[in-house]
Every structure is written in C-alpha cells, then in structure tokens.
Amino acid sequence: MGKGSSVFVLAAVAVLVGCAGTPDSIRDPGRDSAQLSEVRQDPERFDGERVRWGGTITEVENRSDTTLVEIVARELDRGGRPKDIDGSPGRFLAVIDGFLDPAIHEPGRSMTVTGTVDGTTTRPVGDYDYDYVRVRASGHHLWPKRQPVSHQPYPRHPRGPFYDPWYDPWYDPWYPHRRGYRYY
C-alpha cells in the first residue's frame, strides 16, 4: 500500500467517524448552508435553499395535515445537536408533514430540522409581530433530554459496616525513623 492510498484510507475513516454521531434524518445538507441570520435579511434570495437548523422548541401547533414547530434557533455542534447556549440568531417555523405529539415534542426540548426555505410568515410573539422564516422539513430529529451534571467532586458511596473514618492506607508510623530523624 502506497503513501497516497494510506492517506486516502485515513481520510475516508475520518469522514465516516465524523458522520457516525449525526442521525440519518438530519445529515448535513452541505458546507454552504445558509444561516438563519442571512435568510432573515433577504428571504426571497434563499427561497428553496437547503438548510439544517436547530434549537429549542417553544410551541407545537398541529394542523389537519402538517405540524408547525416554532423553534428558537441555536448554533449546532458537529453532530447537528443544538448547543446549550444563551444566544440565538432568531426563531423559525418548521413545517413537518403529519402529526407530532405535543406531549413528546414539548417546549424546552432540542430539535434539529433539515429542509428547504419556504418563505416567511408573520406571527405574534406576545404583542410583537415577528417574521418567521419557514422551513419545509424533509427530516427532523428530537434530541434526548440532557441529564443534569452532578457538582460533587467524586461519587458518593454508602459506607460499609466496617468503615473507619481514621483509616489511612498510606500511614506509616515508622516513617520518621526511616528518614534518619532522631528524637531526644
């Protein structure tokens, strides 16, 4: 095997490993996928463009044949999962064929959507009329809830019946005498 072919094999393995964490339903549509902030500035220019966006669900509205999912956009990590950060470039509406259960797709859950930009819609957010970019979804993925992080320095284990709080396995009562110390 030559040097060039080994480099090719390593590159192929790196690509496969990089894609292993991304669910099939939301594979990356391409490196030049438009960002939500760009599309909000000029929605007509990006109409029909393939995108992969994600964020936090705020509302699920089921209609007769589609479901509208309102999502506060978040930056995605390499696997396509929305990062748990405070900033957002805005909100968008994912238009998904069929029914999504609002009890499962509840507000606060993370979701990633792939699809095409399908114009804009104005809807109220409180008393403010907000212009949402619509994404006609071809794929979507609801991420599992994140588990809270324990802030304990080490895991706590129940103490056994022979627990001795003063036991020290490294204690050596003859240590000073081995080092040449003299006690007068």
| Percent of all residues in the chain with a pLDDT value above 70, rounded to a whole number | 73
pLDDT score at 17: 47
Q: What separation in angstroms does the CA of 71 have from each of 41, 105, 130?
A: 18, 11, 13
Overall fold of domain 26-142: OB fold (Dihydrolipoamide Acetyltransferase, E2P) (2.40.50)
The model's pLDDT over 24-43, given as tens digits with 9 standing for 90+, comes to: 777 766 556 789 999 999 99
Domain boundaries, the chain: 26-142
Q: What is the pLDDT of residue 44?
A: 93
What's the rounded Cα separation, in Å, for the pair 139 and 36? 17
pTM equals 0.69
* pLDDT per residue as tens digits for the range 87-135: 899 999 999 999 999 999 999 999 999 999 999 999 999 999 999 999 9
